[in-house]
A and B are shown apart, each in its own frame.
Chain A
């Protein structure tokens, strides 16, 4: 019920929209806070200084969350140092009750009083409400610096109240406690776009800064991602297991040749067969060299088509002794993975070379059906890149969130 009252401070006329329920109101002319009793009015705070202007117009009606809300009050509040300030808008719908819209650092919350007091666990630093557990984020003393509009309680300006915040994004439970009462409220983080649309604030929205205590992380799909990673890793392991079980290594050629002069000596091997086995083909050569290098230019010739596939492969082996004792370097054997050859009958044309041209024995071994473990580990690496990035970003977000808290789980020790 609208009621007109004369301001006891300036004599101006003040209209109270909900006079039955509003226990205090502010004279728009002199900014005096006035107590509204049934029969009389009295001054609570005389001549406030205009410290802030609400960006949502008081007295306007907006539709939000399925209800029409009258914006009837505005509060500017801060911590006791007055460094951190935020705005609170009091919304009222006669059929639903009161709600608050809180804007802190450009982050918005929709706040409802809880129907019952949450259960606080001071050891675990948590509070439980409606089956959810909230972690203690901060305990601070706060005060109201400035008010406009009308309120269902008697505004006490500059009086400190103890506040405790518990978070479970996107929600935050808050307790405000003074000598008279304890009030619990539940804040829900609201994306700024929703507020901008509902309250017609295009061009008026403050920039959001940092991470709000109960701001939901954009990296909140960690369970789903973990599940996907598990599926994909299982698929990888199954495929690799399939290769290991189904593919076995076998010799296509394994012969030793005498090389009387390793400079420019030519060998033609016997015919061998390459099948259609999965996996790669490996060429292994060993030459009995000592303090020398040995190289073979190898041509694999497919006998039916005459196609030639050429590669080179070498070994080097040095040994000696010094003041530290005997040493060796290199090896008399080398393996080279070569790409898969088409099925067919082949022989190798080998031309040898070496540093000294000394005679040696050359063993040539061609195997097929080799399982590529490198591919397996590389696939694991490729699959792990995004999850690693995701979880690092998620952790960074949480660290930023908790950097404002005295109870951060990222700290090794807490300072109460």
Chain B
């Protein structure tokens, strides 16, 4: 269970690093608004 947490935490760091790099906010996921970097429409906070 504890090792599982380490894997989980590592994934959190990775995901956080990626979405921060590409400029996505957790809010996009929390609000159900998907991100479409190559789409036609911006997503807003």
Contacts and interface: CB of A to CB of B under 8 A. Distances in A.
Interface of A: 221, 224-225, 228-229, 231-232, 235-236, 239-240, 243, 278-281, 300, 307-313, 336-342, 370-372, 374-376, 378-379, 382-383, 386-387
A312 to B, nearest CB: 8
Contacts of B17: 239
- Secondary structure class of chain B's binding surface, majority of residues: helix
Contact of B13 (A307, A370, A379): A379
B27 to A, nearest CB: 7
Interface in B1-30: 2, 5-6, 8-10, 12-13, 15-17, 19-28
A342 B42 CA distance: 12
Contacts, number: 109
A346 to B, nearest CB: 12
Bin the interface of chain B by size: 20 to 34
Interface of B: 2, 5-6, 8-10, 12-13, 15-17, 19-28, 35-45
User: Which of A232, A339, A371, A387 has most chain B Cβ within 10 Å?
Assistant: A339
The 6 nearest A-B residue pairs measured at CB: A280-B23, A340-B23, A311-B42, A379-B16, A232-B9, A378-B26
B27 A279 contact: no
A309 B23 contact: no
Contacts of A280: 23-25
A225 B40 contact: no
Nearest to B27: A374
B16 A376 contact: yes
B35 A309 contact: no
Contacts of A337: 25, 44-45
B24 A310 contact: no
